[in-house]
Structures are given as structure tokens and as C-alpha cells.
Amino acid sequence: MKPLQADVQVELTHANRIAMMEHLSASIAHEIRQPIATTIINAQAALHFLDARTPDLEEIRQALDAIVRDANRTRDLISALRALMHKEPPRQDSLDINEAVCEIIALGRAEALRNGVLTETRLAQGLPPIQGDRVLLQQVILNLIINAVEAMRDVGHGPRELLISSARSPDGVLVAVADSGPGLPLEQIERLFEAFYTTKPGGLGMGLSICRTIIEHHGGRLWATANAPRGALFQFTVPVHRPSDW
């Protein structure tokens, strides 16, 4: 029986390794979709500018700068996700959360405009700096924004409003993303954070699972509730930066 048990253990170990690789591959594929999409859009814009009778070199330069920025973000995101999956400690950058939010809103603004979504911010002033990995935390915010926009895509009546806010909380700093979409059934709220669970046709079910992993990896918490009078509200907290933590 011992050789059989050994063979079973080897097979289980191999199957577990394959599952982990598939999880990592699905995670990376899901997360780099957005920066790759914006890279393609900017490349197409640059080609369009070049086709003009008198090309505007400044417009072309701006498009190429955006391509470089998006490519660098994709590279940094892949590196950060690999580190996360290998359970390496998060980067200990000191970050201004409002600055990070404003930077990432610019990336999601085009998607919001295409879907007729009005974006509003309410960022509290004087918030203490937080600590962590800027790329990963911004990816969480971007995922929540894109999810909110997609949730409001099929809203047939009423305004499509997206509110992104920040505030001080007992656990550190809080960021909230609220939408006016159809909302979340109570029985689905916790399942949304399960890997491979999705309510979207053709969705991978990875985004919110990765988001919660990232926030918990930073010592924070991510949760969802109903938004009043309608829609969904996603909130997360991240501890503030303390010099003694370095």
C-alpha cells in the first residue's frame, strides 16, 4: 500500500500546483486587461494622428507617452501580482490615498463616459498617509470603479452615478465606491468575493477575490453592502503609515 499512497500524494501535490498556476494565470490575465486595452486605444490614436495630412507631433507624443505609461503599469502590475501570489510582504510605500484615487479615476473616466456615468468624488482633507503597494491598491480601486460602471450599464431609468469617497476610520483610512445600479441580492454579497464566482456573463470571477486578497494582505478589510436608495457600496480600509513599521 505504501507505493500507492506515495503515488496518490505525488498526484495530489501535482494537482495542487497546477491549480495554483491556473489561479495565478487567471489573476494576471484578468488584471492586465485594462492597461492593455488603454495601450491599444492610445496606439490606435497615434496611428490616426499620423494619417492626418499634417500630423500633430504634440498629439502623437502624448499618445506615445500614454503607451509607455500603460506598458510600465502592466509590467509593475504583473510583478506585484506575482509577489502577492508568492505571499511576499507588500511594498511599504508611504502613500497619499487621495492622490492615488485621483490618478486611478483618470484611467476609469473613459469607460464611465462611454456608459453615461457621472463620476463624483468626496475626498476628505488632511488624511494621514497609508502604507502599502501603490500599484496593487490602485488596481483595487480601478476594479471597483469598472465593476460599478458595468453594473450601471443596463440601468434603463434614473441617473447613473458613481461616487468615490475617502475618510478617516478607526481602522485607518477608508475608501468607498458607491453606484446607482441594480444593487446586490443579500444572498450574493459574500459569495462575490469567492474565487471564480461571478454574476457577469463570461466573467472570470477573479476581480473581487483578488481585491479582497490585496486589501487583507495590506492588513485591511474589504466588504460590500447595499447603497441607499439603490445600488451597491464597496468599502475598504487600509492602516495608516507609522514610521515604526518600516
Nearest to 130 by CA among 116, 141, 122, 114: 141
Are 152 and 199 contained in the same domain?
A: yes
Query: For position 14, what pLDDT does the model report?
Result: 47
Are 74 and 15 contained in the same domain?
A: yes
Instruction: State the Cα–Cα distance between residues 24 and 82, nearest whole angstrom.
Output: 8
Query: For position 80, what pLDDT does the model report?
Result: 66
Q: What is the CATH number of the domain that holds 130?
A: 3.30.565.10
Are 69 and 17 contained in the same domain?
A: yes
Number of domains into which the chain is organized = 2
Considering 85, 108, 124, which residue would you say is the last residue of a domain? 85
Beta partners for residue 174, in sequence order: 167, 237
Are 49 and 117 contained in the same domain?
A: no
Are 100 and 197 contained in the same domain?
A: yes
Are 102 and 177 contained in the same domain?
A: yes
Using one digit for the tens of pLDDT, what is the confidence trace for 25-52?
555 665 677 777 778 888 888 888 888 8
Query: For position 222, what pLDDT does the model report?
Result: 93
Using one digit for the tens of pLDDT, what is the confidence trace for 163-199?
999 999 988 899 999 998 888 777 676 777 765 545 5
Query: For position 163, what pLDDT does the model report?
Result: 93
Q: Are 215 and 235 in contact (CB under 8 A)?
A: no
Are 134 and 201 contained in the same domain?
A: yes
Considering 51, 85, 119, which residue would you say is the last residue of a domain? 85
Are 61 and 32 contained in the same domain?
A: yes
Residues of the chain with pLDDT under 70: 1-31, 80-91, 156, 187, 189, 194-206, 242-246
Considering 38, 61, 85, which residue would you say is the last residue of a domain? 85
What is the extent of the structural domain holding 116?
93-245
